[in-house]
Structure 1
Amino acid sequence: MTETEQALPLSHIRVLDLTRVRAGPTAVRQLADWGADVIKVELPAALEGDNALGGSRSGPDFQNLHRNKRSLTLDLKNPEGRDLFLKLAATADVVVENFRPDVKHRLGVGYDDLAGINPRLIYASLSAFGEEGPYRPRPGVDQIVQGMSGLMSVTGEPDGRPMRVGIPVADLSAGLMAAMGVLLALVHRDRTGRGQWVQTSLLNAQLFMLDFQAARWLMAGEEPGRAGNDHPTNVPMGLFRTADDPINIAPVGQSMWRRLCEVLGAPEWADDPRYASLKARQQNRADLNAAIEDRLATAPAAHWLKLLDEAEIPSGPMNTIRQAFDDPQVRHNRMARNYAAPDGSSRTLVGQPIALSGTRDMPFRAAPERGADTDAILAELGYDPAAIARLHEGNIV
């Protein structure tokens, strides 16, 4: 570990990673990026082909999810493999898993199994629907939860079909919530000396992420519908056509609304009874949006974005992902980070959105090859070369 890596806030934490697919690896990536010694536990190559979920190990998805880790191959179904894992768990601070709820208990690596040998252990579980309840045994993935949570009911055009979000938002939300739960449990352990079981699910995380849309139903009895590119409640706010490219405009409050009227060359709209109040604008959204687009059609996007910026009205272009990463602010924020691939070439991954003043030069390491660190990790546990060779011969590691 380099001096820079030792300065990272989680460099004293060891994590055993039993996760696959996306939600679990998202949680572990947050810990790995901030310096935790993450041991990714995988099946020996002889027991699993190269086409496991996650795609090619050298591909962008796998590298983005599994960077900054070490890899240990281990067959948990083998009693000797399970015993080896228990030895590792005795040295660990955190275990993260996203098996279906019954699998970890069948394998004998659930929280109760491990807490008995390491009471300080923090054990994080991510499931589709929860560790208990009527849907406990059901399989579930991001797409299913986007529909079940109500997210798709508020996504898409008002007269169109429900629409999934263009990223796996339930997976990502659950992963980030799990990482936050682990950090909370680590703080609690510092005070009490005791570990605990951290649980979250794709369903719970996505319901939480509904935020004000959920609160509209729970508190006011309003069931939101789809609003397309318009904001569900604030008017005007959305994506508008110009003479060339569409732009997003988001005036908030009456003073910004009045400034927008000035920018558009229609100051009389500010006091027009159809538009003067938010309630009036909500009732006349279609007419107002059409009137705004008529004005915007007289000039290109760059013209309007300059005027809107000068008027201090939130606005921005509708970028492609390529254009987003070419943006000067995104470049300044270092959201694209280079790292050295195993073949020595330089590649680029998505950076961390969190900045800490004391750890500005966070290093990125490529995702490991399967079992690349098995022998070193076993040696750390006290296994000699002969014992390690025997474990390999039996496909235990």
Structure 2
Amino acid sequence: MSAPSSSGPLSHLTVLDLSRILAGPWTTQILADLGARVIKVESPAGDDTRRWGPPFLTRETDDGQTENADAAYFTCCNRNKESVCVDFSKPEGAELIRTLAQSADILVENFKVGGLKKYGLDYDSLRAINPRLVYCSITGFGQTGPYANRAGYDFLIQGMGGLMSMTGLPETDDQPAQPVKTGVAIVDEFTGMYAATSILAAIASRDQTGEGQHIDCSLLDCQVAMLANQGANWLVGQRTPKPMGNNHPNLVPYRAYPVKDGHVIIACGNDRQFRSLCQVLGLEALAHDERFATNAGRVEHRDRLEPALEVRLTAFTRDEIIARLEQEAVPCGPINTVPEVFDDPQVKAREMVVPLTRADGATIQTVAYPARFSATPARYHAAPPRLGANTQTLLRNDLQLDDQAIETLRKSGVVA
């Protein structure tokens, strides 16, 4: 096995990141963690998520006071990037970005359809000066179709894409089902992962053809793709998914169950695991009942099976039943709070928290890249940057501008 590389597998690539909020920055942080140089181009106001708090990072002012800096939200998806503050709504600013694009490998943007054309920063304009450029556009609804010009946000797409029709508590005699979104912006995050995967596929294609291409990646398309088994349940069996709380439409038992001191998750994926569960609970007769012997039978007769399991499980504490079930290789686990997640011995052993110190002395706790490479691991070389922290260096080193030219741009508000 070769020695691990310190530069990362994508260290030969340069990314222009014109995106903001979450889906685009999530994409480019993946690329940055894997070694790509990511130049985050921000307006003078900065990425909106710098203000999406509290909580905020704090910093000490020159007079010794403490003030809010960037929101914690911003730090979750902007590690390992350079922040360059350029107002490309001004012709001089747009020209700076075009110059950078001439030698870039990848550009990621999430403006409205056609929004960058007036600045000469659309794909066709930049392809003319750099045909090797892989240009990824992330939008709510894609570049085509009747909704193409609509703005799209994660919450909206969770609803339109079907996810919220199946999350939340089921309908009861007393109350209709209530739509519930997920606790994180999961559509943005999945779109970021699809976009990063697609970008790397386009780079692989470029290695063979020498030509870049345009990638059209939409939140709605990604959400529809994420419907997975629920989408297949409809397409194959015309079964409309509905809110089922913590129940699974295709597996039983597979949900959170009340115990003496809270809840425990039990997730039986096969008949052997169900039989082992019944043995631990002293319900061997259920394992031999023909109604419950197979998963298909348990799904059909869940209303008869679940109450019997619930009664027995309430005799145990959470830790007692987890210990017993783990001995019998029955998948189970607790419902952890976020503090409990980061205190979990497995999470600690996997070193999932990475502290990074910014140039101003602020230490920021970030979450590690989740995949482990044997030879080219993810790298963590820069904390989420302050707005415009790298502007001066880039103007001098990449664009070869002298102090007078930089000062002229600064006074005219093109850079900050």
Same fold flag (TM > 0.5): yes
The one-letter amino acid of 1:208's match is A
- Relative to structure 2, which stretch is displaced further, 268-277 or 194-203? 268-277
Structure 2: which 5+ runs fail to align? 57-68, 172-176
C-alpha distance in 1 between matches for 2:266 and 2:36: 41
How far residue 105 of structure 1 moved from its aligned partner, in angstroms, is 1.7
Counterpart of 2:162 (choices 145, 150, 158) is: 150
Q: Does 1:392 align with 2:404?
A: no
Counterpart of 1:329 (choices 327, 332, 346) is: 346
Q: Does 1:358 align with 2:378?
A: no
SS of the equivalent of 1:290 reads helix
C-alpha distance in 2 between matches for 1:161 and 1:98: 31
How far residue 342 of structure 1 moved from its aligned partner, in angstroms, is 3.5
Q: Does 1:35 align with 2:41?
A: no
Q: Does 1:195 align with 2:212?
A: yes
C-alpha distance in 2 between matches for 1:215 and 1:193: 38
C-alpha distance in 2 between matches for 1:314 and 1:17: 41
Q: Which residue of 2 aligns with 1:252?
A: 269
Q: Relative to 1, partners in 2 of residues 1:250 and 1:143: Cα closer, same or farther, differing over 3 Å?
A: same
Q: Does 1:344 align with 2:361?
A: yes
Q: Which residue of 1 aligns with 2:324?
A: 307
Listed as ranges, the matches of 1:205-354 within 5 Å are 205-354=222-371
C-alpha contact 1:126 1:202 (8 A) present in aligned 2: yes
C-alpha contact 1:261 1:267 (8 A) present in aligned 2: yes
How far residue 361 of structure 1 moved from its aligned partner, in angstroms, is 6.8
TM-score (norm 2): 0.90
Q: Relative to 1, partners in 2 of residues 1:70 and 1:31: Cα closer, same or farther, differing over 3 Å?
A: same
C-alpha distance in 2 between matches for 1:145 and 1:325: 29
How far residue 49 of structure 1 moved from its aligned partner, in angstroms, is 10
Q: Does 1:383 align with 2:383?
A: no
Listed as ranges, the matches of 1:43-58 within 5 Å are 43-44=43-44, 54=52, 58=70
- Relative to structure 2, which stretch is displaced further, 57-66 or 366-375? 57-66
Q: Relative to 1, partners in 2 of residues 1:192 and 1:50: Cα closer, same or farther, differing over 3 Å?
A: closer
C-alpha contact 1:21 1:54 (8 A) present in aligned 2: no
Residue by residue over 1:349-383, the C-alpha shift from the partner in whole angstroms, topping out at 9 and shown as x without a partner, is 11111111124472242122222211211122221
Q: Relative to 1, partners in 2 of residues 1:142 and 1:361: Cα closer, same or farther, differing over 3 Å?
A: closer
The one-letter amino acid of 1:296's match is L
What's the Cα RMSD here?
2.0
C-alpha contact 1:5 1:35 (8 A) present in aligned 2: no
Q: Which residue of 1 aligns with 2:59?
A: none
The one-letter amino acid of 1:324's match is V
How far residue 5 of structure 1 moved from its aligned partner, in angstroms, is 7.9
C-alpha contact 2:21 2:48 (8 A) present in aligned 1: no
How far residue 176 of structure 1 moved from its aligned partner, in angstroms, is 1.0
C-alpha contact 1:234 1:252 (8 A) present in aligned 2: yes
Counterpart of 1:100 (choices 102, 112, 129) is: 112
Residue by residue over 1:112-145, the C-alpha shift from the partner in whole angstroms, topping out at 9 and shown as x without a partner, is 0100000100101100001111001111101110
C-alpha contact 1:5 1:11 (8 A) present in aligned 2: no
Listed as ranges, the matches of 1:135-174 within 5 Å are 135-159=147-171, 160-174=177-191
C-alpha contact 1:20 1:54 (8 A) present in aligned 2: no
Q: Relative to 1, partners in 2 of residues 1:110 and 1:329: Cα closer, same or farther, differing over 3 Å?
A: same
SS of the equivalent of 2:354 reads strand
Q: Relative to 1, partners in 2 of residues 1:304 and 1:343: Cα closer, same or farther, differing over 3 Å?
A: same
C-alpha distance in 2 between matches for 1:198 and 1:54: 29
State the aligned residue count: 393
Q: Does 1:91 align with 2:103?
A: yes
SS of the equivalent of 1:388 reads helix
C-alpha contact 1:338 1:364 (8 A) present in aligned 2: no
C-alpha distance in 2 between matches for 1:95 and 1:314: 43
- Relative to structure 2, which stretch is displaced further, 139-148 or 367-376? 367-376
C-alpha distance in 2 between matches for 1:19 and 1:361: 22
Q: Relative to 1, partners in 2 of residues 1:368 and 1:204: Cα closer, same or farther, differing over 3 Å?
A: same
The one-letter amino acid of 1:97's match is E
Q: Which residue of 2 aligns with 1:21?
A: 21
Counterpart of 1:110 (choices 97, 100, 122) is: 122
How far residue 99 of structure 1 moved from its aligned partner, in angstroms, is 0.4
TM-score (norm 1): 0.94
SS of the equivalent of 1:39 reads strand
Counterpart of 1:64 (choices 76, 92, 104) is: 76
The one-letter amino acid of 1:378's match is L
The one-letter amino acid of 2:327's match is E
SS of the equivalent of 2:144 reads coil
